Amino acid sequence: MAIVSINPATGETSKLIEPHDPAEIEQALAGASAAFDKHRVTPFAERAAKLRSTAEILEQTRHSLASIITTEMGKLLRDAVSEIDKCARCCRFYAENGEDYLREQAVPSDARRSVIRYQPLGIVLAIMPWNFPFWQVFRFAVPALMAGNVGLLKHASNVPQCALAIARIFRDAGFDEGVFQALLVENDAVENVIKDARVRAVTLTGSDRAGSAVAANAGRELKKCVLELGGSDPFIVTASADLEAAVCTGVKARMVNSGQSCIAAKRFLIFGEVYDEFVRRFVAEMQNLRIGDPLDEKTQVAPLASEPILRGVEEQVRKSVQAGARILCGGKRAGRRGFYFEPTVLADVPKSAPAYSEEVFGPVASMFRVRDLAEAAALANDSQFGLGASVWSRNEDEQEFFARELDTGMVFINAMVASDPRLPFGGVKRSGYGRELGAEGIREFTNVKTVYLA
């Protein structure tokens, strides 16, 4: 069955692509294995030069690449351009810093000399999502290739044109054939690829359910696995916060990518002293957002990526309201062609509601009133997820309290949670394990080898 590319703004099919058959999958694996034997011994300077070339291609073709993103998964065009530029920055960052992160480290011991070396593992299978179809791939691929590994990309089935474009970019940048390839396969073919002895590690960005399945398969094969999964990030606003900045950033943090982001703010925990004013301003901002064509510069709210995603968000809101939540604005599909959902704010969300315990992957914000620091931390941590958290406070003691007490992989103070090539990215609990980006990210798919000379 063909892999279908659908324009979320219109619901129309734009392209049909035949998936790779078993013979083509074997060819890709064999090519990757052969490419690794050569790529792993290339000098760091050569890999860095190819990453700089990759960055140049991305920047020179940013608008055409952004157009593919927008028409395939619905992202606002200006945001798609920014995504391409971020990928280029990631290439340059690891071109500059990758060798230092992987430099041999001498360690004092009883030996005449003892060192730690970071050596590449081999083929890394990447199972990537559609919501940031370039950035999610590049933040895995760039450090992995710089470390001397090779990559096989199993991208989300609704963004096949993005997958092919990314593979072409790495080839055009000078990486040898087989160093980075796109596997156009459905999910049922992934298990056999994980089982293949030539694949040495797996990375997945996606839902916690998908992460559990991949981790189980990788675990049976005793293969290294990095998982960046879902999130239900708290956005905490204390009485000392700059309320105007908190409201403005809070709307952006919830509406990034039309709410389809694992690190989007989803649960707003507002201290009682400022709750009413924050909610009033927040709802007004959400109601004023302009829904429209993602190619139009004036549009602020783009469609969701697919009809099933739209139905899922619609069902989560309906069940939350049935459980007792109140709709302050939005709450339904937008009355236009395409997969649009209105910017929505819920209040009085009970524990039994999906909006309390599940990740809502769409433009839906849930408001919670809290009394003090302890209640805010307890409510923030009362989640199966632990990816990021945003805290708004001008009090240093409050800032330190939340930085210490929140059970998340990242805490951003007076800023929205974001990924940055310089900083490790990842979570705890059902948000996954392992880290991407930073020094930690490039070392994830290396053999940390001890060399002891007596």
Domains of the chain with bracketed CATH: 3-229+431-453 (3.40.605.10), 233-420 (3.40.309.10)
Candidate list 87, 90, 162, 262, residue with the active-site label: 262
Per-residue pLDDT tens digits for 286-296: 999 999 999 99
Active-site residue, selected from the candidate residues 72, 83, 228, 444: 228
Q: Among 411, 168, 390, 176, which Cα is nearest to 266's?
A: 390
H or E stretch at 76 = none
Tell me which residue of 68, 85, 8 sits closest to 362, measured CA to CA: 8
Using alpha carbons, list the distances in angstroms from residue 448 to 102, 105, 147, 310: 10, 11, 12, 44
* Residue appearing with tokens 């949670």: 417
Maximum CA extent, the chain: 74
**Whether residue 273 has pLDDT greater than 80:** yes
pLDDT, tens only, 327-341? 999 999 999 999 999
- Across residues 408-432, what is the average pLDDT? 98
In one-letter notation, the amino acid at residue 335 is G
Residue-wise pLDDT tens digits, 145-193: 999 999 999 999 999 999 999 999 999 999 999 999 999 998 889 999 9
Under 8 Å between Cβ of 203 and 129: no
Predicted confidence (pLDDT) at residue 382 exceeds the cutoff of 90: yes
The amino acid at residue 310 is L
pLDDT in tens, 78-88: 999 999 999 99
- pTM passes above 0.95: yes
The answer to whether residue 228 is catalytic is yes
Tokens of 436: 């991407």
User: What is the reported pLDDT for 389?
Assistant: 98
Q: What pLDDT, on the 0 to 100 scale, is given for residue 2? A: 86
The yes-or-no verdict on residue 5 having pLDDT over 90 is yes
Does the annotation count 225 as an active-site position? no
**What length is written for the chain?**
454
Phi and psi for 375 in degrees, rounded to 5?
A: -65, -40
